[in-house]
Structure 1
Amino acid sequence: MTNERATILANGPFVDDGRLRARIAEGGGPLIGVDGGAWRLYELGFTPRWVTGDYDSVTPAQRETLEAAGARFVETPDQYRVDLDKALAFAIDEAGARDIAVFGAGGGRLDHTVAALAAAVAHGQRASIQLIDAHGAARPVYGELTLTGSDLIGRVVSLIALGTVEDVWFDGVRWPLTGQSVGPYGRDATSNEIVSDTICVRAGAGDLLIYLHHGAPERSA
């Protein structure tokens, strides 16, 4: 089966700020609930097409209700992989998705957040993946990434390095990078400010994500 898009709700902290609903309304593809995220979808008024995970956050009564509503539980018991990693693999390999938005992926615990970022990097060359929270959206960078739009100016943007990333170039921001390393032994690249309607990130070896805040911060009078 092939679904160009898919929308995933994981079991991490989630704020119902309208972005998930907007994604669904605009044709976000089939819904995938990751473990307890499936019940959250149901409580929001949506039934996931599939439920993945080890189901340690789904009660028997909740599973019965979800299955009665039409949700299909996909057994993914591998305890050496985090639930989001398995959900992304399922969305790409089984559902055929190539545009995936993930909500509720992290933020409650540091280990969960890092694991979610790593999962996005691991699968991001096979599909466009965004991890969306209440503040912004993160996506992996491979080689070069360019974003354009008049609404970019003034927004906060960060580069997140999983380890040291070499030869990073970052244009269109207040504090550009010109070939430096980013990460534990290089430059910090968080909380930059966009000053152009086009930004471009180019990176050498290493795992890098860009985290773009949803809107420009309010300025004090």
Structure 2
Amino acid sequence: MNSSKILGDFLRDRRSGGGYGPRWRDWADPCLQRLIDGWYGVPVLLCDPLMNVCAANDLGAALLSGLRHTDNLFKLIFLDPAARDFFTEWPHIAAAATDVLHSIAAQGHHPGLTALLGELAEQSQEFRRMWAGHDVSSDARRVKRLRHPAVGELTLFCDVLDVVRLPGHHVLALQAEPGSPSEQALALLGSLAATAN
């Protein structure tokens, strides 16, 4: 299928109320949404403590195009069959995600955590194995290697920024090395997203 069509369909679904679009745009903090939208050339996601995606800029949404479970990054990692191809170092990503979930669980009761863990355990044998064999030694790599269906291989540096006025929320910003093929691929993805809009 044409990569522009995949991306266009995804972005149209977001705007028309299908998929996860309303959740991203109707979360009621227009100032923070404007800040996120203002980051050009960098995919940006705003996530809550359970990695529910609360907001994204267009490039952040385009980066997730073609994937299921884009409302929650833990579900995307463990429940979307395409995640193993999208995250080229999936075992490291999954181990780091399991570490984060163990850390959240150790902090005490968190609304929604039990339901999320139950869903992951029920639907993912890999998650059950990692959760049971938990080893805190996995490394949360700053460099993310992705394979996007529309633009190919991407090597991105992930920065996580805490949002002080929304405790537990954080911004994920994924930057490419200046002048790299990944920067060119992100520019192409941005052009495809703009064309689809």
Q: Tell me the TM-score normalised to structure 2 length.
A: 0.29
Q: Tell me the TM-score normalised to structure 1 length.
A: 0.27
Structure with more relative contact order (C-alpha pairs < 8 Å, separation 6 or more): 2
Which structure has more strand as a fraction of its residues? Answer: 1
Q: Which has the larger radius of gyration?
A: 1
Which structure has more helix as a fraction of its residues? Answer: 2
